[in-house]
Structures are given as C-alpha cells and as structure tokens.
Amino acid sequence: MSSTMQNKASLPVIKRLPKYYRYLSNLQADGRDKISSSELARMMGTTASQVRQDFNCFGGFGQQGYGYNVRTLLSEIKSILALDREHSVVIVGAGNIGHALTNFEGFASAGFKVLALFDVNPELVGKEIKGRPVYASSELEDFIRTHDVDIGVIAARRSAAQGIADRMVQAGIKGIWNFVPIDLVAAVPIENVHLNDSLSELSYKIEHGVLND
Amino acid sequence: MSSTMQNKASLPVIKRLPKYYRYLSNLQADGRDKISSSELARMMGTTASQVRQDFNCFGGFGQQGYGYNVRTLLSEIKSILALDREHSVVIVGAGNIGHALTNFEGFASAGFKVLALFDVNPELVGKEIKGRPVYASSELEDFIRTHDVDIGVIAARRSAAQGIADRMVQAGIKGIWNFVPIDLVAAVPIENVHLNDSLSELSYKIEHGVLND
C-alpha cells in the first residue's frame, strides 16, 4: 500500500475491513469465484454503495457491474491488513485466557506465531504451555528486544496491565492486544477485547429485548 | 427500569453503558465516593455533555455540579444492565475457547453461572471441565428446557455454529454469546466476539501506524 492510500481510510472503514476479509474468506472456502458489491453488501448487512465507497479508499479493486474476483479481492485485503506476512507474538499472563490464546486458531491462520508466555507465578515459570516456554515476567523486555517481537498480548491482572504495556512499548513492541478490562494508554496501536463489556451488553439486550446491532 | 426508558436508549448509548459500568467499578474498587461528569468524561475519552446526555436516557442519576455518587450510579447502571441478578449459561464447544470461558472471571463477577458444556467429541462427553459436566451435543435442547438456561455460548466449529444457534433458540435460550467467526442469525439478542477481526484490525493499525480509536 502506498502511504497516500491509508490516509483515505477512516476508522469506520478500517473497522469494516476485517469483516470483508472474514466474509471473503468464507466465500472462498465455499468455492465462490465472483461476488457483486450488492451481494457482498446484502451478506454483510450494508449497501452496495457503501462497499464500493470502502473499496475506493484502497484504489477500487475490480469492476463494478461485472463483480469482484473473490480470490483477488481477498488477497488485496489480506495485504492491506498486513496478514500476508508473519507476526511474532508474546503473551503476558499464563492464566485462563493466556493459556487459551496460546493455541488460538486465529493466530496460525493469520500467520501469527506465539513465541513465548510470561508470568510472575514461579510455579508456571520454566514450564511449557502447548509447546511454548513460560518465562519470568522480568525477562519480558530482553525477550522482546532480542526476538524483535511484533505483538504483545496482555492477559494479566488488572493492576499489572498498564505497567506491562509500558515495558512492552519501551522494549520496542509494535502493537498490543489487550484482554484486561481496562483501557490501556500506549504510544503503539492497541486493540482491546473487553469480554466483560460484551457480556454486559448481551445482558442489557436480553433484559430490554434489543435485537439488532 | 420502566419499559419507556429503554426506548430512549439508542445503540451507541447501549454500547457505552458497559464502559461506564467498568470505569465506575474500577473507581469504586479504588475507594472513590464521588465523580463529576467532566472527570468521568475525561477518563472515558468523551465529553461531560455526552455523559449527562447518556444518563438522561435513564432518568438522570444524581445532580450536575455536585457530581455523582459512585456507589449509587454503579448500582443503577448494574440494574439497567441486568447484572444484579443471576444468569445461567451453557457453553457449546469444549475446545480451547470453550474451556477457557468455563472459568472466565467475568462470569462470576457478573452473576453468570456456567451450568454445563456440550460437545460432539465422544472423548470429552462424560468428563468434567473445571467442575462442570460435558454432555453430548444431542442433549442440548433438553438441558436448556429443563434448566431454563438464559445464555448460550457458541465456541464450536464454524460449520456447526448456525445450527447450534437455531437449536438453542428453539429450546428457549434468551441470548447468544458467539465466539465463532461468522455472523449468526437468530431471533434472540446475539453478541459476537470476533477475535480474528480484532487481531486483523490490530495488524492493520500496526502496518499503517493508526493510533487512536
């Protein structure tokens, strides 16, 4: 991608890109060759004009009327999302969530490689979780520096999370995937997975009968 | 909550409620008694007028100028989110994610009780995961009916997910928490946790240097 193109993509467009990617992956898995903007829009609950507008942010892709080639479009979006190259990952917090993420299918399918976990619990340090070593939390910075780690997953205690983020950033991490229910502050991109928020929203929707999203 | 109040809350307001709840929970944990709308707004990265407008959807809560009582406000929002009563939960798919969710702290802290897991794998059926029984997937509807289950978590295979959702709804489930990377269709509220989408968005932000959210 040229640097001029990214400037055209607003946050709502950026947020829709992974969804396009997911739908196109599923279409390709189902053996589809072509898809029109209107059919893609219908599947995704949006409009054909929205789809074309979104894709125009990245230079278009394929012809209107004739439809998009699924494989080409998927590969273009994959490249824009930078999912066409390997990312290295460390996970801090080898508890419940950290443990599950070690084997998260989505990492492998997106070319993300979990190198190691870190924990403060001496009973976990030195062990392996699904083939990955668990190191002492104090070794985090050194590891990030020597292995040029791209992404730090934070699945630690709430009180420790901001400190971990600070140390990650100082050691040169490029982005943070946060599973702790606080909004971290950092000078690198952060994605929060606030499971409690999602559960609370579901609870509200059930109580008040809210169906749509 | 009266039924007239819910009609005033638009989806963006609903989506902010869990965030208010999270910040107020943290404030209470830190021993804070009072908070002004402007301080709460600053913490949450919004404006005081937005906070007051949001709260007005639910009848106000407390006085402007003097600030809000943290405990009262927390308890009001907890009630609006229906987190002040017990919910029963079943998890379909006893794999990596289903396993981790069985012990998810957020369930306990929100009064959600995981009653059982369901799986098609005969090697898992009959076993226990963290004290919860794993039943055969075929027993799902009966269990939901006899135990009047509120929430169904779907952490199964992509190809099975929509079928499971259909069966849950038919058996009387009240809401679905979906961890499968497809958008399910159902006549009850659904909350999707699309981990792959979140990871793709992080990848994009790192590649293109997008910091804010």
Residues of A in contact with B174 (CB under 8 A): 206
Q: Please give the residue of chain B at the shortest CA–CA distance from A30.
A: B159
When pLDDT is averaged across residues A1-14 and rounded to a whole number, the result is 63
Using the CB atoms, write b or e for B115-126: b if 16+ within 10 Å. ebbbbeeeebbe
Q: Using one digit for the tens of pLDDT, what is the confidence trace for A21-30? A: 999 999 999 9
Average pLDDT score over chain A? 91
* pLDDT at residue B12, as a whole number: 87
Residues of B in contact with A158 (CB under 8 A): 26
Counting residues of chain A whose pLDDT is more than 70, the rounded percentage is 93
Instruction: Flag whether pLDDT at A3 surpasses 80.
Output: no
Q: Using one digit for the tens of pLDDT, what is the confidence trace for B61-110? A: 776 567 899 999 999 999 999 999 999 999 999 999 999 999 998 899 88
Q: Please give the residue of chain A at the shortest CA–CA distance from B84.
A: A203
When pLDDT is averaged across residues B146-168 and rounded to a whole number, the result is 97
* pLDDT at residue A2, as a whole number: 41
Assign A213 a pLDDT band (cuts: 50, 70, 90).
Answer: low
Three-state DSSP class for A83? coil
When pLDDT is averaged across residues B136-154 and rounded to a whole number, the result is 98
Q: Using one digit for the tens of pLDDT, what is the confidence trace for A192-212? A: 999 999 999 999 999 999 986
Residues of B in contact with A107 (CB under 8 A): 199
* pLDDT at residue B5, as a whole number: 46
Instruction: Flag whether pLDDT at A91 surpasses 60.
Output: yes
When pLDDT is averaged across residues B4-12 and rounded to a whole number, the result is 65
**What distance in Å separates the CA atoms of residue B30 and residue B11, rounded to the nearest whole number?**
30
Instruction: Flag whether pLDDT at B58 surpasses 90.
Output: no
List helix spans (H) across B48-194. Answer: 48-56, 70-80, 96-102, 105-109, 140-147, 158-170
Residues of A in contact with B190 (CB under 8 A): 202, 213
* pLDDT at residue B6, as a whole number: 46
Q: Where are the beta strands (DSSP E) in B5-111?
A: 34-35, 68-69, 87-92
**What distance in Å separates the CA atoms of residue B2 and residue A206, rounded to the nearest whole number?**
15
When pLDDT is averaged across residues A155-183 and rounded to a whole number, the result is 96
Contact call for residues B98 and B155 (beta carbons, < 8 A): yes
Instruction: Flag whether pLDDT at A94 surpasses 50.
Output: yes
Q: Using one digit for the tens of pLDDT, what is the confidence trace for A134-156? A: 999 999 999 999 999 999 999 99
- DSSP state at residue A30: T
Backbone angles phi, psi at B59, to 5 degrees: 100, 5
Shortest CA gap B80–chain A (Å): 7
Average pLDDT score over chain B? 91
Query: Nearest CB to B193: which of A81, A195, A200?
Result: A195
Shortest CA gap A90–chain B (Å): 14
Tokens 């609870």 locate to A203
Query: Nearest CB to A189: which of B105, B110, B202?
Result: B202
Contact call for residues B93 and B86 (beta carbons, < 8 A): no
* pLDDT at residue B65, as a whole number: 63
Which residues have a Cβ under 8 Å from the Cβ of B193 and sit 6 or more positions away? A193, A195, A198, B177, B178, B179
| Amino acid sitting at position A52 | R
The answer, as to whether pTM is greater than 0.95, is no
**What distance in Å separates the CA atoms of residue A79 and residue B202, rounded to the nearest whole number?**
14
Shortest CA gap A26–chain B (Å): 9
User: Cβ B11–A213 below 8 Å, yes or no?
Assistant: yes
* pLDDT at residue B211, as a whole number: 87
Counting residues of chain A whose pLDDT is more than 90, the rounded percentage is 78
Which residues have a Cβ under 8 Å from the Cβ of B71 and sit 6 or more positions away? B28, B33
Backbone angles phi, psi at A44, to 5 degrees: -90, 0
* pLDDT at residue A1, as a whole number: 41
Of A38 and B8, more confident: A38
**What distance in Å separates the CA atoms of residue B182 and residue B157, rounded to the nearest whole number?**
10
Which residues have a Cβ under 8 Å from the Cβ of A13 and sit 6 or more positions away? A54, A57
Among A192, A197, A202, which would you mutate to test the B interface (most chain B Cβ atoms within 10 Å of its Cβ)?
Answer: A202
When pLDDT is averaged across residues B45-52 and rounded to a whole number, the result is 92
Q: In residues, how long is chain A?
A: 213
* pLDDT at residue B212, as a whole number: 66
Backbone angles phi, psi at A16, to 5 degrees: -80, -25
Please give the distance of CA A58 from its chain centroid, rounded to a whole number.
20
Instruction: Flag whether pLDDT at B170 surpasses 80.
Output: yes
* ipTM of the complex, rounded to two decimals: 0.93
| Amino acid sitting at position B139 | E
Give the C-alpha distances (Å, rounded to integers) separating A33 from A24, A26, A162, B69.
Answer: 10, 12, 46, 58
User: Cβ A26–B182 below 8 Å, yes or no?
Assistant: yes
* pLDDT at residue B194, as a whole number: 95
Shortest CA gap A19–chain B (Å): 6
| A6-15, B36-45, B130-139: the lowest-pLDDT one | A6-15
Residues of A in contact with B19 (CB under 8 A): 194, 197
Q: Please give the residue of chain A at the shortest CA–CA distance from B192.
A: A198
Give the C-alpha distances (Å, rounded to integers) separating A93 from A97, A193, B101.
Answer: 8, 15, 16
Q: Using one digit for the tens of pLDDT, what is the confidence trace for A36-89? A: 999 999 999 999 999 988 988 887 776 656 789 999 999 999 999 999 999 999
Shortest CA gap A8–chain B (Å): 12
**What distance in Å separates the CA atoms of residue B89 and residue A203, rounded to the nearest whole number?**
12
- Tokens standing for A80? 């824009």
